[in-house]
Amino acid sequence: MNILVFGGVGQLGQCLKKVADTRGIEGLIYLDEIQGNILDKELLKGLFEQYQPKYAINCAAYTAVDKAEDEIDLSRLINKTGAENVAKACAQFNTTLIHISTDFVFEGNLAKALNEEDIAEPINVYGLTKLEGEQGISQITSQYFTLRTSWLYSEFANNFVKTMLRLGKERDELGVIIDQVGSPTYAVDLAGCILEIITSKSDAYGLYHYSNEGVTSWYDFAKAIFELSDYSVRVKPLKTSEYPTKATRPTYSVMDKSKIKSSLGIQIPYWRDSLTVCIKELKS
C-alpha cells in the first residue's frame, strides 16, 4: 500500500517517518517541496499515476504565522490552492486524503473548548488561508480526514520547544506570553494518530480536532520545558501587549477532542507527559 507524504521533510513529515519506522509500517513515500510540490498539478498527476496511492497525507503548508501577514498571496497559494490540488488528485485516483489544519482557524475569544461544529473565524492570515484550504478540500472530495491540531513541537525542525532551548542557552532571562492559552501537541503523537487512522482503514471521514490533553499558556509551557531540561533560566510572564507580533494570535485556542476519541477510538496523551518524552529524545 503506497502512502504519499507531502511536506515529508517538515516537522510532521519527519515524525511520521519516525513512528512508521518504529511500528514497521511500510509504503510511505516522503516527498520534499521539490519532489512533491503541491503547486505543480502535472507533477502531482505523475506521482499519483506512478504510485496509485491508497492515502495521501498533506503535511505541506506555509507555517510562518507572522510572515504570512505580509505574504498573503503565497500563504493562500500553499495553504488553499496547494491543498485543493492534492484533494483534486485524490478525488481522481480514489485516494483518501489526510490533511492537517490548525487551532488558528478560531478567533479564540471564548474560554471554552471548541468542537468541530463551532464557527471558525480566523484572526490572522495563516489561520484564514488554512480555513480556506479545509473548505476547498471538503468541496472537492468526501474521502478526507482533516485533523486540526495546535502548538506542534518535536525533536525535529523548528518549533517553540527548540526555540526556548536555544534562547535559554543564550540568555539568563526570557519573557514569555502568559495570556495566550492552548494545548501543546507532540507531533510524534499526532503522527501516531494519523497512522492509526490509516491502519484502522476507517471510513469515518470528516473534520476532527486533535491536540495533546490539558491546557497551558506559552509561559507555563516554557517553564515546563526548562524544568524538564534542567535549565536555570528565569522566565518572566508577559501580557500579549508586552510582546508585539505582526500576527494576532488567539487568546484561548483549546479544542474539544471528543469526536476523534469516540468516532476513531484515538487515545491522547497529556501534554506534560509527551513533553517529557520529547525532552528525553532531545537529550539523547
Ligand X SMILES: Cc1cn([C@H]2C[C@H](O)[C@@H](COP(=O)(O)OP(=O)(O)O[C@H]3O[C@@H](C)C(=O)[C@@H](O)[C@H]3O)O2)c(=O)[nH]c1=O
The residues carrying an active-site annotation are 126
CB 121 within 8 A of CB 107: yes
Q: Taking the CA of residue 187 as centre, how many other CA atoms within 13 Å lie in the half-sphere pointing to its CB?
A: 25
Q: Which of residues 200-239 bind ligand X (CB under 6 A)?
A: 218, 238
User: Minimum distance from CB of 51 to ligand NDP (Å)?
Assistant: 16
Q: Which position among 25, 39, 113, 165 is part of the footprint of ligand NDP (CB under 6 A)?
A: 39
Q: Which residue is nearest to ligand X (CB)?
A: 102
Q: Which of residues 134-163 bind ligand X (CB under 6 A)?
A: 150-152, 160, 163
CB 91 within 8 A of CB 40: no
How far, rounded to the nearest angstrom, does the alpha carbon of residue 192 sit from its chain's CA centroid?
13
Q: What are phi and psi of 54, to 5 degrees?
A: -80, -35
**Binding partner of residue 12 among ligand X, ligand NDP, none, CB cut-off 5 to 8 Å per kind:** ligand NDP
Position 224 contacts ligand NDP (CB under 6 A): no
In the sheet that holds 216-217, the strands lie side by side as 216-217, 181-182, 252-253
Binding mask 80-119 for ligand NDP (x = CB under 6 A): --x-----------------x-x-----------------
User: Minimum distance from CB of 275 to ligand NDP (Å)?
Assistant: 14
**Binding partner of residue 6 among ligand NDP, ligand X, none, CB cut-off 5 to 8 Å per kind:** ligand NDP
CB 16 within 8 A of CB 5: yes
Spatial separation of the C-alpha atoms in residues 239 and 171, rounded to whole Å: 20
